[in-house]
């Protein structure tokens, strides 16, 4: 009996010692692994930084722009962005580059809805580096990224899949390595669920309130687009997406015509941090058929897919309207030089400095004004006709929704 009692006492002690040893070795291994990652990232970088002049999310992508000083054009061979976890994950992105004297300016993508696809990243911590190749060297030069903007860190939430999401924290941080502090840009990805106030899609049904939009007999644009919006919301929710309407049956009667007020459609849309915004419109002039409008600096693949699928799934055809047309069913409408001049004259007559509008600025306000720095949103309050768009100069998704479309049935 004493032997049995002794065994009962000894077994937990042995298990406890073994478990303690396991935990100690596990911690030591994790520390070794982390130290190795830090060595791989920080052990080969230049003391000089790649200075980031702009960074933003648009749709599901992260885009960065910046510069490296002291690079001679005649000695330049190529430049890439590297996303790495310091161990097994390394993905390269070819950068667009141009020189201004001995300053190398770079941009991840010219099309704002392309870049580092945040949906593709698994839960982990990633570092972003710039890799430069010079003609007179067989070795690469690696640069960490230093934030030279006034923009804050970004929180991105992935599209809902099987009721799960990931949170991507995009932030500039510091790391001490060999008694020196290094600035760097990191992406930390972790499993989560969407907070209550954050959505995958936001749908904007045109007009509302006193604005009935286009009318025909007893039909109003505001009623039809609301019906479309509600049905589209139901269809997307059936695929497990989380969807917000800027206007629904609860607020349509008193929907404000001030698009930029706290309860205006721009503010409602931007608060959602949605990845995609779809704006629904009807029009009764200048042709008939389906038109999908997108921003001029976008990859138009998604716009084309939407136009094709609408036509293939209904008895509707592509619009026969040719102005602003990029391809069947896809349109881009920007300000032209005469419109820019008229805007400038209006600003001068009202006593405020003209907005920085170019021929790359979308004329369609929903596409432009939810886009922040990516789409040259410009209603910042200087024109007292409107409330200030609080999100005009933002780099984040809650103030910049992507792949915006105005869908017309003419």
pLDDT in tens, 289-342: 899 999 988 999 999 999 999 999 988 889 988 999 999 999 999 999 999 999
Task: Kindly indicate the confidence band of residue 410, based on its pLDDT and cuts at 50, 70 and 90.
Answer: very low
User: What is the C-alpha to C-alpha distance for residues 225 and 230, in angstroms, rounded to an integer?
Assistant: 9
Query: What is the pLDDT averaged over residues 269-288?
Result: 85
What are the domain boundaries of the chain? Answer: 46-192, 201-409
Task: Kindly indicate the confidence band of residue 263, based on its pLDDT and cuts at 50, 70 and 90.
Answer: confident
Query: pLDDT higher for 34 or 228?
Result: 228
Q: What is the pLDDT of residues 315-329, one digit of tens each?
A: 888 998 899 999 999
- CA dihedral sign of residues 303, 304, 309, 312: positive
pLDDT at 399 over 60: no
User: What is the C-alpha to C-alpha distance for residues 82 and 89, in angstroms, rounded to an integer?
Assistant: 10
- Whether residue 126 contacts residue 85, with contact meaning beta carbons closer than 8 Å, is answered with yes
User: What is the C-alpha to C-alpha distance for residues 66 and 55, in angstroms, rounded to an integer?
Assistant: 9
User: What is the C-alpha to C-alpha distance for residues 382 and 408, in angstroms, rounded to an integer?
Assistant: 31
**What pLDDT, on a 0 to 100 scale, did the predictor assign at position 127?**
98
How crowded is residue 138: how many other Cβ atoms within 10 Å of its Cβ?
6
**What pLDDT, on a 0 to 100 scale, did the predictor assign at position 80?**
97
C-alpha separations of 91 from 43, 84, 183, 240, 256 in Å: 19, 7, 21, 30, 46
Placement of tokens 């130290």 in the chain: 35
The residue count of the chain comes to 410
CATH architecture of 46-192: Sandwich (2.60)
Query: What is the pLDDT averaged over residues 15-19?
Result: 66
Token code pair at residue 286: 């200048």
Query: What is the pLDDT averaged over residues 175-199?
Result: 95
Q: What is the largest CA-CA distance in the chain?
A: 103
The pLDDT > 90 percentage for the chain reads 66
List own/partner pairs for 164-173 with CB under 8 A and 24 or more apart: 164/191, 164/193, 165/191, 165/192, 165/193, 165/194, 166/121, 166/123, 166/190, 166/191, 166/192, 167/191, 167/192, 168/118, 168/121, 170/55, 170/57, 170/62, 172/145, 172/146, 172/147
**What pLDDT, on a 0 to 100 scale, did the predictor assign at position 8?**
63
Query: What is the value of pTM for the model shown?
Result: 0.86
Task: Kindly indicate the confidence band of residue 404, based on its pLDDT and cuts at 50, 70 and 90.
Answer: very low
Buried b (16+ CB within 10 A) or exposed e, 380-399: eeebeebbebbbbebbbbbb
- Beta strands 201-205; 276-280: pairing state: parallel
Among the CATH numbers 3.40.50, 3.40.630, 3.30.70, 2.60.40, which is that of 201-409?
3.40.630
Q: Point out which residues pair with 33 in neighbouring strands.
A: none
pLDDT at 406 over 90: no
pLDDT at 403 over 80: no
- What is the end-to-end Cα distance of the chain in Å, rounded? 93
User: What is the C-alpha to C-alpha distance for residues 243 and 204, in angstroms, rounded to an integer?
Assistant: 11
User: What is the C-alpha to C-alpha distance for residues 367 and 404, in angstroms, rounded to an integer?
Assistant: 5
User: What is the C-alpha to C-alpha distance for residues 358 and 376, in angstroms, rounded to an integer?
Assistant: 9
- Whether residue 370 contacts residue 353, with contact meaning beta carbons closer than 8 Å, is answered with no
**What pLDDT, on a 0 to 100 scale, did the predictor assign at position 27?**
47
How crowded is residue 220: how many other Cβ atoms within 10 Å of its Cβ?
17
Query: What is the pLDDT averaged over residues 132-149?
Result: 92
The SS3 of residue 37 is: helix
Token code pair at residue 281: 């419109």
Query: pLDDT higher for 193 or 286?
Result: 193
Query: What is the pLDDT averaged over residues 209-224?
Result: 85
Task: Kindly indicate the confidence band of residue 151, based on its pLDDT and cuts at 50, 70 and 90.
Answer: very high
What is 208-267 written as a DSSP string?
BTTB--SEETTEEHHHHHHHHHHHHHHHHHTTT--EEESS-TTTSTT--S-TTSTTSHHH
pLDDT at 232 over 70: yes
């Amino acid at each position: 009996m004493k032997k049995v009692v002794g065994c009962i006492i000894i077994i937990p002690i042995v298990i406890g010692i073994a478990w303690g040893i396991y935990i100690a070795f596990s911690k030591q291994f994790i520390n070794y692994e982390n130290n190795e990652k830090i060595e791989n990232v920080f052990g080969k970088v230049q003391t000089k930084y790649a200075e980031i002049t702009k960074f933003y999310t648009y749709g599901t992508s992260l885009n960065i722009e910046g510069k490296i000083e002291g690079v001679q054009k005649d000695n330049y061979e190529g430049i890439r962005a590297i996303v790495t976890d310091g161990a097994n994950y390394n993905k390269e992105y070819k950068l667009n580059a141009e020189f201004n004297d001995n300053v190398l300016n770079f941009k991840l993508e010219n099309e704002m809805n392309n870049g580092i696809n945040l949906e593709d990243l698994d839960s982990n911590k990633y570092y972003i580096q710039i890799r430069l190749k010079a003609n007179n060297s067989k070795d690469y030069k690696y640069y960490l990224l230093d934030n030279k903007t006034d923009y804050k860190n970004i929180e991105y939430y992935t599209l809902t899949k099987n009721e799960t999401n990931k949170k991507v924290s995009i932030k500039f941080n510091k790391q001490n390595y060999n008694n020196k502090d290094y600035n760097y840009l990191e992406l930390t990805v972790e499993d989560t669920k969407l907070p209550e106030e954050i959505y995958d899609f936001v749908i904007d049904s045109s007009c509302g309130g006193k604005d009935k939009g286009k009318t025909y007999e007893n039909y109003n644009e505001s009623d039809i687009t609301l019906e479309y919006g509600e049905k589209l919301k139901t269809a997307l929710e059936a695929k497990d997406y989380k969807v917000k309407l800027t206007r629904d049956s609860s607020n349509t009667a008193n929907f404000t015509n001030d698009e930029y007020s706290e309860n205006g459609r721009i503010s409602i849309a931007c608060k959602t941090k949605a990845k995609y915004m779809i704006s629904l419109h009807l029009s009764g002039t200048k042709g008939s058929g389906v038109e999908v409008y997108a921003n001029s600096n976008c990859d138009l693949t998604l716009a084309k897919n939407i136009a094709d699928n609408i036509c293939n799934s209904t008895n509707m055809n592509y619009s026969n309207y040719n102005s602003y047309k990029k391809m069947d069913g896809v349109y881009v409408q920007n300000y032209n030089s005469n419109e820019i001049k008229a805007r400038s004259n209006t600003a001068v007559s009202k006593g405020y400095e003209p907005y920085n509008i170019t021929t790359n600025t979308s004329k369609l306000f929903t596409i432009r004004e939810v886009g922040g720095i990516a789409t040259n949103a410009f209603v910042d309050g200087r024109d007292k006709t409107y409330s200030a768009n609080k999100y005009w100069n933002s780099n984040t998704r809650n103030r910049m929704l992507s792949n915006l479309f105005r869908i017309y049935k003419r």
